Structure 1
């Protein structure tokens, strides 16, 4: 008697090309076709002990591939709708921000780019994402004390790079250098 693994290998080698051709004719990107085939044979592998008889297995694989394709197309439609919502949201946020391209904002972005990556991440998570140092510590894998030290160093370095001119009308600078409320230790 042939083992389920050996039978699966035989079914795979006998049907791979047919499944790939089937998928290729039904998707826009070749990479998607290979994903469809991989998922189809994953289902077959998981159910290798329950595969239908040899004369029915190819049709069964077509049925599996058909369902995998349907899931793929539904997922693509969901991703497209999500992408459209995100594009709309981003567009509306940019349109709302009157200081989108002001020189101060560009100066802050340039200064942020000059900070070391670790300091920049701690600063952005704290100021832009509104996380407390203990929360930032969890995200980046440091102690809360190390985060506080990096945050202090990053703020000081950013002030050096941008300048600390309170009369310089850029609302972005105030946001970036705002103090974070004390948290319970």
Structure 2
């Protein structure tokens, strides 16, 4: 094994001489720049780890192409697995999750809930849909339990006010409420 300074210097020489050609090789075989950057970084990481195996001189570039080829193969396999997993999950969720019916979707609670801020909806969702307690929510949100309790209290008050406002609107304009009910009947 070479001394650390000599290893670093050799790697820097290989990197400087081969970066652009290897980048070109990778770019021609990937669909976007982010993937190319990932493959290039992984290729040179392998070169650093196996620096003693990298051939000297002009033979370094073909060796790196071989490494990049294997990294690309792994990358493409991973992409296929992610795509297949995504397709499978979409199919499972489509059959497991029943879309809400339009009547429930337009209910007073749903309308009031949608009128809240994103933060209030997230907080109330963590309690109502995910069943988390204040300590667990504090972990999710990255704040204290006490902050969660205060925010939850305020979010519930805002939801109650939104429901009251909707009820007041319905009482003030009963013909609109009747029209909405008839549309959904």
Change (3 A) 1:91 1:107: farther
Q: Which has the larger radius of gyration?
A: 2
Change (3 A) 1:113 1:6: farther
User: Which runs of no fewer than 5 residues in structure 1 stay unpaired?
Assistant: 166-185
How many residue pairs align between the two structures?
163
For 1:31-110, list aligned pairs within 5 A. 31-94=34-97, 96-99=98-101, 101-102=102-103, 104-105=105-106, 108=109
Change (3 A) 1:142 1:60: same
Change (3 A) 1:110 1:98: closer
Report how far residue 162 of structure 1 moved. 3.2
Report how far residue 40 of structure 1 moved. 0.7
Change (3 A) 1:32 1:58: same
Measured in 1, the distance between the counterparts of 2:128 and 2:63 equals 55
Q: Which structure has the highest helix share of the two? A: 2
Q: Is the 8 A contact 1:5 1:48 kept in 2?
A: no
Report how far residue 81 of structure 1 moved. 1.1
User: Which runs of no fewer than 5 residues in structure 2 stay unpaired?
Assistant: 168-185
| Aligned position for 2:177 | none
Q: Which has the higher contact order (CA 8 A, sep 6+)?
A: 1
Report how far residue 107 of structure 1 moved. 5.8
Q: What RMSD over aligned residues (CA atoms) do the two structures have, in Å? A: 2.8
